[in-house]
Structure 1
Amino acid sequence: MKRLIAIAALAGLGATAASAADMTGPVAGSAYDWSGFYVGGHIGFANGNVRATDVTQPNGGFFTDLVPAGTEGFGFRDTNIAGGAHVGWQHQWDQFVLGGEASWTFTGIDKTIVSPYFPDSDTETGKIQHYATVVGKVGYAFDRFMIYAKGGYAGGKVGFKARDNDALVTYEQNEWHNGYAVGAGIDYALTDKVILGVDYTHIDLGSKTSTGNNVFDDGSLGANPETYKVKARADAVMARLTYKFGN
């Protein structure tokens, strides 16, 4: 639902931009040239969803015998600040703008919950530390306004930690996940070089299965390793400030 609201908001902004352009008269071609290399920064909020599932339940792990093997898991949802940098190149033909962009974004998505299986002793944490995207962009320009859609690769660092505070033992994994990104946005050329924008991106980082040891606070290893499959995705809305280096 949040994703649909964000897309609808961006569509509304695009419609407003188009109406503003129509008020100035027919557009035979964009007077402003969006072609060129650009760099910038972005900041906003990201809503993350991380899910960790115990794939093979070992003896003495963070599981319960009341749940069938391979179905016990933990879900984490968090909305937090996010921000980073982007760089790209684009070229304009008439009112169509084609290009590519790479970005890196830090996120504060980090959620700790009490275990639904052992609430008196266990806590679990899921987080998305940062992600990167490499996407293609297709835009349509109304003079100094441009609306665009984008899609391509996304990868990010995802973490999961399970902690038994009675036994003083911890299982933790921090893995790089690969997936995809899709989104849309609107830009406004405040000057010939300075561009302001609003951008929505859906990031799906897929899933990754990792096996690791339980580690006691004294550094010794538990008798049985844990194997968890972790999935992650996020929806981000960013305000952007970009500088364009000529045509």
Structure 2
Amino acid sequence: MRRLLLAPTLLLATSFGAMAADAVVIESPPEVIIAPVFNWTGAYIGGEVGYLWGDGDYADSVLNYATPEPDGWLGGVYVGYNYQFTNNVVLGVDADFAWTGADDTSAVFNGGLPVPASLDSDLDWTGAARLRLGYAVDRFLPYIAGGVAFGKVSGSYYDGGGVLVGSDDDTSVGWTLGAGLEYAFTDNLIGRAEYRYTDFGDFDFAIGGGTATTDLTSNDVRFGLAWKF
């Protein structure tokens, strides 16, 4: 009789054990957090430093000529505004102003022969107003930029004894073209690295009772840090 009572009990326990083993526990999938994609739309203001090297040609009314090549450090500020389209294309406007220490002292020639004189050239400041076109890759923004450039050049002419014959300065308008890369370290702090080529056009001087013209082009590299609003 005892065996008969144990048999159903064992059978029932075995059945419940099998059902428990076959039960499937469904767990909720982990929550996926999608980081927001950075958007470049907005205004910004920043500061920049860089290095500039120039290439010029000087010619005066008595056929003296020189090839000034001013180079030196630069530093300034820039402001602008970007708009990012839904296809990640970024269109913007950008303006900058920089003071430079670019200067050079060049020999003077006439008919291929050296003249006992020298020419000091200084690029005092530069500025530009440009359009920018880029393609956003989240927090990276490679871009090209071009527009109108401005610059002020000072020239001083010395005779062979180092005596100042005359000096003058002029501001000229030209064009500039460049390319760069920006990276958003945070939603507001944006770094920039850029190369730029600029043609400042002609600068006209009145030196020592005569007239002279200098045309100047430059290459420069710049690094900036801006705050985006």
Task: Name the SS of the counterpart of 2:70 in structure 1.
Answer: strand
Alignment of 1:1-247 (within 5 A): 31-54=37-60, 56-57=61-62, 69=63, 72-94=64-86, 95-116=88-109, 121-166=116-161, 168-212=163-207, 214=208, 225-245=209-229
Amino acid corresponding to residue 130 of structure 2 in structure 1: V
Amino acid corresponding to residue 221 of structure 2 in structure 1: V
- Cα distance in 1, alignment partners of residues 178 and 223 from structure 2: 14
Higher relative contact order (CA 8 A, sep 6+): 1
Task: Name the SS of the counterpart of 1:115 in structure 2.
Answer: strand
- Cα distance in 2, alignment partners of residues 106 and 167 from structure 1: 27
Amino-acid identity (%): 28
Runs of at least 4 residues of structure 1 off by over 4 A? Answer: 116-121
Task: Name the SS of the counterpart of 1:73 in structure 2.
Answer: strand
Task: Name the SS of the counterpart of 1:31 in structure 2.
Answer: coil
Aligned pair count? 191
Coordinate RMSD, CA, aligned? 1.9
| Structure 2 alignment gaps of length 5 or more | 1-35
| Structure 1 alignment gaps of length 5 or more | 1-29, 58-68, 215-224
Tell me, yes or no, if the aligned pair for 2:169 and 2:205 is still in contact at 8 Å.
no
Tell me, yes or no, if the aligned pair for 1:179 and 1:206 is still in contact at 8 Å.
yes
Tell me, yes or no, if the aligned pair for 2:71 and 2:104 is still in contact at 8 Å.
no
Amino acid corresponding to residue 73 of structure 2 in structure 1: I
| Shift in Å, 1:123 | 1.9
Tell me, yes or no, if the aligned pair for 1:50 and 1:127 is still in contact at 8 Å.
no
- Cα distance in 1, alignment partners of residues 174 and 149 from structure 2: 5
Question: TM-score, length-normalised on structure 1?
Answer: 0.72
| Shift in Å, 1:167 | 8.5
Tell me, yes or no, if the aligned pair for 1:50 and 1:126 is still in contact at 8 Å.
no
- Cα distance in 1, alignment partners of residues 195 and 186 from structure 2: 23
Task: Name the SS of the counterpart of 2:68 in structure 1.
Answer: strand
Q: Are the structure 2 counterparts of residues 159 and 113 from structure 1 closer, same or farther at C-alpha, using a change threshold of 3 Å?
A: same
Amino acid corresponding to residue 52 of structure 2 in structure 1: A
For the pair shown, the structure with the greater C-alpha radius of gyration is: 2
| Shift in Å, 1:79 | 2.9
Task: Name the SS of the counterpart of 1:203 in structure 2.
Answer: strand
Amino acid corresponding to residue 207 of structure 1 in structure 2: D
Amino acid corresponding to residue 177 of structure 1 in structure 2: S
Amino acid corresponding to residue 136 of structure 1 in structure 2: L
